[in-house]
Amino acid sequence: MVLLDGKSLSKKMREEIKKEVEGLKKQGVIPGLAVMLVGENPASQLYVNMKTKACEDVGIYSINHRMPKEISEDELISVIKMLNNNPMVHGILVQLPLPPHIREERVIEAIDYKKDVDGFHPYNVGTLSRGNPMFYPCTPFGIMKLFEEYKIELKGKDVVVVGAGNITGKPMSAMLTNADATVQLCHIHTKNLKDKTSKADILISAVGKPHLITQEMVKEGCVVVDVGISKINGKVTGDVDFEGVSQKASYITPVPGGVGPMTIAMLLYNTLKSAINSK
């Protein structure tokens, strides 16, 4: 069994990005990312802090907009419009989830798709489906980089993705389809999940439910990617029963230290790309 070490690949990528940022600065462009956080969700606060710290480390200028949970949809959108028009800002990220009174689609659609470094804007979702978006969503993009680094073949492979969310599951299945894999997207209403997962050459779980994927649900030699992040008694845990599943897997991501650090590296990558595009 080989660990898919997102922590070390992310470090390598961040070092490369840092060099490219330095080069860009010599040409007079400072890459800038605006990170918007509405309310005080502790997990969101943690993610946003990690993202801004990662920007600092590679020399990307980051602006933090923290807004109270009572902010109106229109007020939030007016801040986005201001950032759309700010030439110092190359990437705009609105941390999700948003409070229930704010319509997520309206907010995402307000972001200039050329600054949509999360890849959530309908323009990028649509062009992702065709295979050539301006930005790939960071989590599935990071997983594709792990496959590339460890030379995991996708063409013709049976891949099962568990979790059909907009942030990971749906874009992941599009990217794998574009890479010529045969993809089955499973979710909360899927019948006989085990029947599906146990046939997978590659299994990706993005649900957020500890112990969802157990040893008897996976095939011998399967590649397992765990995107889940939950906390049990203060300990970060994925969707996969690592102890049992790692005995059968050929490759497996740890949690933490697998997909999470890759998500952040790809955000930096997308921001750098946007800054380069702006020249």
Catalytically active residues are 51, 95, 118
By the rule CB under 6 A, 139 interacts with ligand GUN: yes
The residue among 123, 44, 38, 36 whose CA lies nearest residue 81 is: 36
CB-CB contact of 14 with 57 (8 Å): yes
Q: Which residue intervals of 131-258 are DSSP H helices? A: 138-149, 169-178, 193-197, 242-245
By the rule CB under 6 A, 5 interacts with ligand GUN: no
Query: Given candidates 167, 207, 217, 249, which one binds ligand GUN under the rule CB under 6 A?
Result: 167
Q: Which residue intervals of 63-121 are DSSP H helices? A: 73-84, 104-110
By the rule CB under 6 A, 95 interacts with ligand GUN: yes
Closest CB to ligand GUN among residues 20, 116 = 116
By the rule CB under 6 A, 93 interacts with ligand GUN: yes
- How far out from the chain centre does Cα 84 lie? 22
By the rule CB under 6 A, 9 interacts with ligand GUN: no
Query: Given candidates 54, 94, 143, 213, which one binds ligand GUN under the rule CB under 6 A?
Result: 94
What residues have CB less than 8 Å from 226, skipping those under 6 apart?
A: 205, 213, 238, 239, 240, 242, 252, 253, 254, 255, 258, 259
By the rule CB under 6 A, 50 interacts with ligand GUN: no
Q: Work out the angle at residue 172's Cα, subtended by the Cα atoms of residues 201 and 267, and round it to the nearest 5 degrees.
A: 130
By the rule CB under 6 A, 102 interacts with ligand GUN: no
CB of 180 to ligand GUN, least distance (A): 25
Closest CB to ligand GUN among residues 35, 185 = 35
Per CB under 6 A, residues contacting ligand GUN are 93-96, 118, 138-139, 167, 263
